[in-house]
Chains A and B, each alone.
Chain A
């Protein structure tokens, strides 16, 4: 690096640049949180959805599944599982049957544990996944398989 470019100049670019771009980041974050109510389906958060999210967290579902593409890549994406597995007509019945059938014990297949949820809890979890699937997330995922 040239001698005329001094350490002091480099330091000023570091401090100035970081502060400047962090300010922009905060401004965009502020704007985004103002825009999110239009997209994140918050008007439909019920107590059941809230309980469902706690169940989702308490059983570490993210340790195997992705939700909106984030999590572990060991088991299917669940952000759109509501649409993939029956939607309005059949999802709740599907989920109830699915949760109770675990572990499937098919030799060699990845095993989902049984989390011993009761009917109300499975209902709450279903409500949470339904609510999540109705968020507006810029058209992701590309297809129903997630």
Chain B
């Protein structure tokens, strides 16, 4: 059965499928790392912690990029009311990106990192070995090429079609993503400058332009599942992203407190990042408001659940847990502790993993030719996945927060001489790490339930 409005939307499917495969990989490496926190020598020869972490975080980034690209290929033609400019280009870029991604991950796993740096000629243009940007320079160039082709394809589609607010916001976000990524090629010897501009990629992605992408995808899904007037939803979208950028751009200052930078960043960063929870709070109000004012009963209940869930979890993870340690006097003690890890986990899951799963939930039944929604049994299974993963992530965050508070108490608050060393402190946190690992196993069970829901069919009546 053909259920797509525009046939070229079908190119989104391989992007979504591959994103979810990488997501599974990310979680498996997360569990390995979680165990290494308490059983330090577990697999330490074959997969040292730094390798596992690089795989864990880079898989996250890459699967989210696949998710964003799939989302764009799916929603831009429908919003623009025209076929995609070049479906063939989208498929070619899919294979280029997938091959580069797999080769990079295999490189991390199969050879020592320094060997990978040598064989990819890192010394010609050293960009490797910086957190989240560990991929070889050649992979970074590949990402740029893929992004350019992707933006060209979308841009040409929008040019010939309808220019809705959702398309324009999504496009701005994606262009911003590509532009700020260029800072990953700037790696001066001076560590202070290196770090300062490294945040132009990392912060201006996740607390800047990615929020535009998230907002646009959420607005699209809300229009489709609630039937609420586009004017209303797009007005909310503008308000939310206005707040996100007004707070988030100068909010970058919360990374410049302890970095050979003038003290005024402590004021600028504290004040503006204290406002950063607001757009996420507005997103919660808006998602619930729109669903309550719905003008149709969309059969895809699971997609509605994801849409509400991502708003709430983004507010908690990015908003509340971000605020927890963003004020400079607090950050002085919490900077680089397990509090940061707690925030990172829930924020990435709530804002970005969940928004991608929201649109996957909405779009996959159509992409697979099933119709508006999966059968009831499949949706129930999917919702089991939602709740298991989400509740598990709440517990992961709570346990890491517990670990972080105790870590600050033992290692950071006392004077030199009385404070416990890093390693001695880590031993005291073991119970929290064990509980985090158990919660992580539940997250994996949720993920298995979620993935398996794609194969659940309605019972055939005998």
| Chain B binds chain A | yes
Identify B189's interface contact among A49, A66, A77, A105, CB under 8 A: A49
Nearest B residue to A15, CB-CB: B242
Identify B234's interface contact among A7, A54, A57, A58, CB under 8 A: A7
- The docked-state distance in angstroms from the alpha carbon of A140 to that of B193 is 17
* B187 contact set on A, CB distance < 8 A: 57
Does any Cβ of B come within 8 Å of A87's Cβ? no
Check A7/B235 contact, CB under 8 A, given A25-B250, A132-B191: yes
- The docked-state distance in angstroms from the alpha carbon of A18 to that of B245 is 6
Check A58/B266 contact, CB under 8 A, given A18-B246, A111-B44, A140-B332: no
* A66 contact set on B, CB distance < 8 A: 336
B242/A18 in contact, CB under 8 A: yes
Does any Cβ of B come within 8 Å of A99's Cβ? no
A145/B420 in contact, CB under 8 A: yes
- The docked-state distance in angstroms from the alpha carbon of A32 to that of B190 is 14
Check A58/B416 contact, CB under 8 A, given A5-B235, A110-B36, A111-B41: no
A70/B195 in contact, CB under 8 A: yes
B297 vs chain A, min Cβ distance (A): 24
* B413 contact set on A, CB distance < 8 A: 142
User: Per-residue CB proximity of B112-149 to A under 8 Å, as 1/0?
Assistant: 01100100001100101111001000000000000000
Identify B44's interface contact among A60, A69, A103, CB under 8 A: A103
- The docked-state distance in angstroms from the alpha carbon of A69 to that of B131 is 12
User: Per-residue CB proximity of A68-89 to B under 8 Å, as 1/0?
Assistant: 1111111111000000000000
A7/B130 in contact, CB under 8 A: no
Nearest A residue to B333, CB-CB: A142
B419/A36 in contact, CB under 8 A: no
Nearest A residue to B285, CB-CB: A1
B223 vs chain A, min Cβ distance (A): 13
- The docked-state distance in angstroms from the alpha carbon of A70 to that of B192 is 12
- The docked-state distance in angstroms from the alpha carbon of A7 to that of B338 is 42
* A95 contact set on B, CB distance < 8 A: none
Check A77/B422 contact, CB under 8 A, given A35-B262, A141-B412: yes
Does any Cβ of B come within 8 Å of A64's Cβ? yes
- The docked-state distance in angstroms from the alpha carbon of A58 to that of B40 is 23
Identify A74's interface contact among B53, B260, B265, B332, CB under 8 A: B53
Nearest A residue to B202, CB-CB: A70
Task: Of the listed stretches B91-99, B251-259, B382-390, B454-462, name the one at the interface; the rest are far from the partner chain.
Answer: B251-259
Check A143/B412 contact, CB under 8 A, given A6-B235, A10-B239: yes
A140/B238 in contact, CB under 8 A: no
Contact residues of A between 1 and 43, Cβ < 8 Å to B: 1, 5-7, 10-11, 13-14, 17-18, 21-22, 24-25, 28-29, 31-33, 35-36, 39-42
* A53 contact set on B, CB distance < 8 A: 189, 191
- The docked-state distance in angstroms from the alpha carbon of A28 to that of B250 is 9
B106 vs chain A, min Cβ distance (A): 16
Check A115/B114 contact, CB under 8 A, given A1-B235, A144-B419: yes
B333/A7 in contact, CB under 8 A: no
Most chain B CB atoms below 10 A, which of A13, A73, A132: A73
- The docked-state distance in angstroms from the alpha carbon of A73 to that of B191 is 19
B261/A35 in contact, CB under 8 A: yes
Identify B40's interface contact among A22, A69, A110, CB under 8 A: A110
Does any Cβ of A come within 8 Å of B271's Cβ? no
Does any Cβ of A come within 8 Å of B86's Cβ? no
Does any Cβ of A come within 8 Å of B228's Cβ? no
Nearest A residue to B187, CB-CB: A57
Nearest A residue to B231, CB-CB: A7
Most chain A CB atoms below 10 A, which of B117, B165, B191, B245: B191
A108/B422 in contact, CB under 8 A: no
- The docked-state distance in angstroms from the alpha carbon of A58 to that of B122 is 8
- The docked-state distance in angstroms from the alpha carbon of A109 to that of B426 is 11
A52 vs chain B, min Cβ distance (A): 10
- The docked-state distance in angstroms from the alpha carbon of A108 to that of B36 is 9
Does any Cβ of B come within 8 Å of A90's Cβ? no
- The docked-state distance in angstroms from the alpha carbon of A57 to that of B126 is 9
Identify B113's interface contact among A24, A60, A135, CB under 8 A: A60
B286 vs chain A, min Cβ distance (A): 9
A1/B236 in contact, CB under 8 A: yes
Does any Cβ of B come within 8 Å of A136's Cβ? yes
Nearest A residue to B38, CB-CB: A108
A61/B129 in contact, CB under 8 A: yes
* A105 contact set on B, CB distance < 8 A: 41
Does any Cβ of A come within 8 Å of B100's Cβ? no
19 CB-based A-B contacts, threshold 8 Å: A6-B235, A7-B165, A7-B234, A14-B241, A28-B250, A42-B190, A42-B192, A49-B189, A57-B130, A58-B129, A61-B50, A64-B49, A68-B336, A110-B40, A135-B192, A138-B261, A142-B333, A143-B412, A143-B419
Contacts from B to A (Cβ < 8 Å): 33, 36-37, 39-41, 44, 48-51, 53-54, 113-114, 117, 122-123, 126, 128-131, 134, 165, 187, 189-193, 195-196, 231-232, 234-236, 238-239, 241-242, 245-246, 249-250, 252-253, 256-266, 268, 332-333, 335-338, 340-341, 411-417, 419-423, 425-426
- A111-B41, A146-B422 given; name 20 further pairs at CB < 8 Å: A13-B238, A21-B249, A25-B249, A28-B253, A31-B262, A32-B196, A33-B196, A42-B190, A62-B50, A62-B130, A63-B51, A64-B50, A73-B336, A109-B41, A135-B260, A137-B260, A138-B258, A145-B411, A145-B421, A145-B425
